[in-house]
A and B are shown apart, each in its own frame.
Chain A
């Protein structure tokens, strides 16, 4: 557990952040900050997408590709 030994507010922030990330990923939206840090680390020469562009790109990728879902 990453929260082991952390103070209570820190643990609360971690939980809230995880919950938000879980809810967003449930509808196919990965973490934007993770994307930003990935772009910074591996493609510093490219300008990353804005949050709005990122959102549209992910929405189209999730629903436009004709992926099925479960019964």
Chain B
């Protein structure tokens, strides 16, 4: 009787969640409140956490509260510190939450909010949170080693090297796509450009203050920095309204691209305390604050979802990105449902600070649920703006035209009624000259956030402020990611190239560092430039590449989890990792195959290349290319992207082969073969 009563409250949660989800799913033709989405998501998370994560903790992994964690074994007060689990949760969440969960759901909203919502919820419960949890567990049992080391240790050197190389390529694509989002948001926007540019001197001032004036006083300088940022937003408004200043901060995409490339090279070469660290303080606090503000805003304002539950683009061939629901929805929303990049964080600093092994459930599984909620909020923000405005912002000019009249006519013909006046008014409301052709997620999310937050604070007069606040908040942590990612890429490159040219490996050599940084910036800069000049908007090409590579990394992490479960002789529970791994392999391999070989030139790189190559051979110009040179560049880039896709497929398939071999070997062995750090009991004195 007692045990039934214990589950009763959870039954209530489950019933409420099912009712909310039913309301969301079955609403046809009538607009519903976003609160239903929030309630459905929260109930799903609670049930999944209470039951599924407990099952994984107790039965599948067998977390042992008496086992010494690396934090106790190697306690040095610096890297290895036993940390309160709530404090560590904050650290872990701040490390995994980035631009990804904000952008993917916004792009996925073209199919309506329902497909995206269902994938976010199912994906996080059965794949994303499981991956983060298992990798955190595996790394904790192995002294906090990194993903690359873990693959090497449990599968072999070759798959380890392959995984490392794959990670480097993923990093390049991520940097290019993140930088592209910034370019799309700042092009022709003097307000945004001034505000984002102002973050550089603000950060440098903070860096100097922290280094020389009041060393280490993060709190006070972050408050000062925040105030300066808010002033920069108002400064941007003044700049955008000034006839003298506005032209100085108005740039097209190409100019911004070159500035970003130059910025990336310089920022990654400066000492970390000057620019990277202080800006990271600002962006981290702003990110957490904005996420909390958005959550409160959604609950307080309870906006109505304007986007239909399912649009006609769920059949495929939507304007924002091409391809059918399977597999492309599942790679478009990566972070928020499942993100391979988290495997790098879960095997980074977090396992070195775990006070008790049993906390891995709350931090690994729970942390990912929190990130998933960020994705749900982004989906809500994108779905509560007028669908016609959404499509006007996200459709490429080659498809819908460049003037408000043309765009409004095309989009209205799709069934999303919008007038040129509405488009102009929205642009005016947010203080921009145009909102057309701003694919990439950030501006759409910013309009959605402004739509929600101005109803809570400030009224219509504050809408432009909230819009630029949202742009600033995204650009700030994207720039931090570009800077930190270029450094990380540089180290990986030096590691990889060092095997062939030992001189390059020396990280103390200025020349070696500059060469590696240059190569790294050139690599992501190339893809960025390609995306910016792409008449179909760039996001069309780069976001699927990013999604495929990120989900493949998740598949690699889950395959590692499978191998470890087999080697622990717990293969009867291996389905927990096998099922999501198989699903991700199915999605990414299908998507990769279609991106290369699909006969539809909107989807397949090779057929798109062939179309332009044929045009070249016959001496015909194919729009939107204006010169034969532009056409041959399109052909070359298409083939390059196809080759990159093929490379990702090769990486994931070879890891699959090695995983199957490792599992078979583990099955044949009589005893567990997992290479864990030997068990040591957690001494009561050490548990302080």
Contacts and interface: CB of A to CB of B under 8 A. Distances in A.
| Prevailing SS type, chain B contact patch | helix
Contacts of B75: 38, 42
A58 B78 contact: yes
A47 interface: no
B78 A30 contact: yes
User: How big is the A interface, by class?
Assistant: 35 or more
Contacts of B218: 24, 27, 29
A68 B171 contact: yes
Contacts of A38: 75-77, 81
Nearest to B217: A55
Contact of B335 (A27, A55, A63, A70): A70
Interface centre among A35, A38, A51, A68 (most CB of B within 10 A): A68
B281 interface: yes
A30 B284 contact: no
Contacts of A61: 78-79
A44 to B, nearest CB: 13
Contacts of B484: 63, 67-69
Interface in A22-46: 22-31, 34-36, 38-39, 42
Shortest 7 CB-CB distances between A and B: which pairs?
A55-B216, A66-B491, A35-B77, A71-B100, A38-B77, A63-B272, A22-B90
B281 A71 contact: no
21 contacts: A18-B84, A18-B86, A18-B87, A22-B90, A25-B87, A26-B94, A27-B280, A27-B284, A28-B349, A30-B77, A30-B353, A35-B81, A52-B215, A52-B216, A54-B216, A57-B78, A63-B272, A63-B277, A66-B488, A67-B348, A71-B178
Interface of B: 75-79, 81, 83-84, 86-88, 90-91, 94-100, 171, 174, 178, 210-211, 215-216, 218-219, 272-273, 276-277, 280-281, 284-285, 288, 334-335, 339, 341-342, 344-345, 348-349, 353, 480-481, 484-485, 487-492, 546, 550
A64 B285 CA distance: 21
A58 B76 CA distance: 12
A40 B87 CA distance: 23
A64 B488 contact: no
A27 B481 CA distance: 14
A61 B91 CA distance: 16
A13 to B, nearest CB: 14
A65 B280 CA distance: 15
B272 A64 contact: yes
Nearest to A15: B86
Interface centre among A20, A39, A71 (most CB of B within 10 A): A71
A60 interface: yes
A11 interface: no
Contacts of A36: 77
Interface of A: 18, 20-31, 34-36, 38-39, 42, 51-52, 54-71
Contacts, number: 131
Nearest to B282: A27
Nearest to A51: B216
Nearest to A20: B219
B78 A35 contact: yes
B64 to A, nearest CB: 23
Contacts of A57: 78
B98 A69 contact: yes
A26 B284 contact: yes
Contacts of B78: 30, 35, 57-58, 61
A23 B485 contact: no
Given A29-B218, A61-B78, A69 B95 contact: yes
Contacts of B76: 38
Contacts of B216: 51-52, 54-56
Contacts of A35: 77-78, 81
A51 B210 CA distance: 12
Contacts of A67: 348-349, 484, 488
Given A18-B87, A26-B91, A69-B481, A55 B215 contact: yes
A5 B334 CA distance: 44
A65 B394 CA distance: 38
Contact of B97 (A27, A54, A70): A70
A53 B83 CA distance: 21
A54 B97 CA distance: 27
Contacts of B546: 71
Contacts of B353: 30
A23 B289 CA distance: 11
Contacts of A58: 78
Contacts of A66: 487-488, 490-492
Contacts of A64: 272
Contacts of B88: 25
